[in-house]
Amino acid sequence: MKKDKKAMSPIIATMLLIAIVIVLALIVFLWFRGITEEAVTKFEGTNVKLVCEDISFDASYSDGNVYILNTGNVPIYKMRLKSFTDGSHTTETITTNWPQYGLTLGGTYNGEISGNVTRIILIPVLIGHSKRGDVTYTCDERFGYEIEI
């Protein structure tokens, strides 16, 4: 056996170390960027995620139509409709006949739902302010209104 063989040249080893450092720095950078998301606020600086708790609305379903009444002080900019059929579901934003500026206090909406729907969940969407301007925020499904059909 020859004893003067080298396993790796110093140039290749240096290049590998530099590549590893660059990949680790990129991972740390992306991780920090994900942690520091831009705050979306509503009502004089209140985080829009906290405003979702203050939303109050009633909804009902009758003969293929859904009826929504905003009973709270928080304007609902849009509404996401999660409709369940036999074994599947779809989620869409209600746009037909929805008020341009959303449902304010006492505002009502009625619209038709097509298909063989067995259950629906209405999820409010709010509009807030950030450094980029007005931004929509969809509340968690736990703040939604569920209707069994």
Task: Quickly tell me which residue has 């140039």 as its tokens.
Answer: 11
Structural domain includes residue 14: no
Percent pLDDT > 70 in the chain is 92
Number of domains comprising the chain: 1
- pLDDT of residue 1 exceeding 60: no
The CA-atom distances, in angstroms, between 78 and each of 32, 70, 94, 122 are 31, 12, 7, 10
* pLDDT the model gives residue 6: 62
7-23 confidence digits (pLDDT tens)? 668 888 899 999 999 99
Structural domain includes residue 128: yes
The predicted model scores a pTM of 0.74
Structural domain includes residue 49: yes
20-44 confidence digits (pLDDT tens)? 999 999 999 988 877 766 677 776 7
Q: What is the CATH number of the domain that holds 86?
A: 2.60.40.3970
* pLDDT the model gives residue 87: 85
Residue 96 structural domain:
41-148
